[in-house]
Chain A
Amino acid sequence: MASGTIKIKAALSGDITEVKALFQHDMETGQRKDAKTGEKIPAHHIKEVVCQHNGKTILTCDWGVAVAKNPYLSFRFGGAKVGDSVKIQWTDNKGDSDSAETKIG
């Protein structure tokens, strides 16, 4: 289980909360070859990102290999207030995962 791979910012502006998240992940496409051995490096990418507001899932992202390395995600939602929790969890195609939580500021 990975840890410390997610940075989240959640800021309320008017009625809308904007969430910005950065993930540390290689997002290996499975098409690159190892420079030394010439063998293909197997695909290794985040498949699913689940975003929750106060424990309720509001957004589920399905990602393929074409999401850039160290992915960035931003979305906006309503119905939240300062101090609410925003939790984001990713799971990759090898079953590794990480999650992080922040308070809306």
Chain B
Amino acid sequence: MSVKRRTFLKGTMATSALGAAVGTGLLQPRAAIAAWSEKAFSAKKVDEAIAGLFGNGATKESGEIKLVAPDIAENGAVVPISVTTSLKNVETISILVEKNPAPLACSFNFSGPLEGYVSTRIKMGETSDVYAVVKAGGQVYSTKKTVKVTIGGCGG
């Protein structure tokens, strides 16, 4: 990672002026996407987090996204999540947990010949809907699944 980008990142966090500039559309959205989005990661609601990533909180339900997550997660600290999509020209895949203090868990930005697939493990504070949001060909699509988190981790 280049030093320039690190510096840029620090700069964005230090001054809210740039954030405001992005918000009002003075800068190209591309520049906003390129850096870790403080706005998206600190948002308290799913649509605000999506808006923080893409400038607009609206998504289109898509059957072309497959979200693989357990029906019941006995340990909310480690919940395996896989997202597979047959959508073409995938730009980003993001995973959000509606009832986490900050819903956006992670975002994956594609810049090479990747298959529409990512897999990771996330934390969930409680039973919640999990969203997989895919930006492909300039459109933002989503799907969701409810994952039940059992407190105490002893089943039931």
**Chain A interface residues (CB < 8 Å from chain B):** 16, 27, 29, 31, 47-48, 50, 53, 56-69, 71-79, 89, 91, 95, 97
B82 closest partner in A (C-beta) = A74
A21 closest partner in B (C-beta) = B120
A75 closest partner in B (C-beta) = B118
When chains A and B are docked, how far (Å) is the Cα of A67 from the Cα of B108?
A: 12
Main secondary structure on A side of the interface with B: strand
A67 closest partner in B (C-beta) = B106
Docked-complex contact B112 and A66, CB < 8 angstroms: no
Query: How far, in Å, is B155 (CB) from chain A's closest CB?
Result: 20
Docked-complex contact B112 and A67, CB < 8 angstroms: no
Indicate with 1 or 0, residue by residue over B99-111, a CB within 8 angstroms of chain A CB atoms: 0111011111111
Pick the contact of B121 from A61, A67, A78 — CB < 8 Å? A67
Docked-complex contact B112 and A31, CB < 8 angstroms: no
When chains A and B are docked, how far (Å) is the Cα of A27 from the Cα of B105?
A: 12
Docked-complex contact B107 and A77, CB < 8 angstroms: no
Q: Assuming A47-B36, A89-B1, is B114 touching A66 (CB within 8 A)? A: no
Docked-complex contact B114 and A77, CB < 8 angstroms: yes
Pick the contact of A66 from B6, B36, B100 — CB < 8 Å? B100
B106 closest partner in A (C-beta) = A63
Pick the contact of A56 from B41, B110, B112 — CB < 8 Å? B112
Docked-complex contact A76 and B117, CB < 8 angstroms: yes
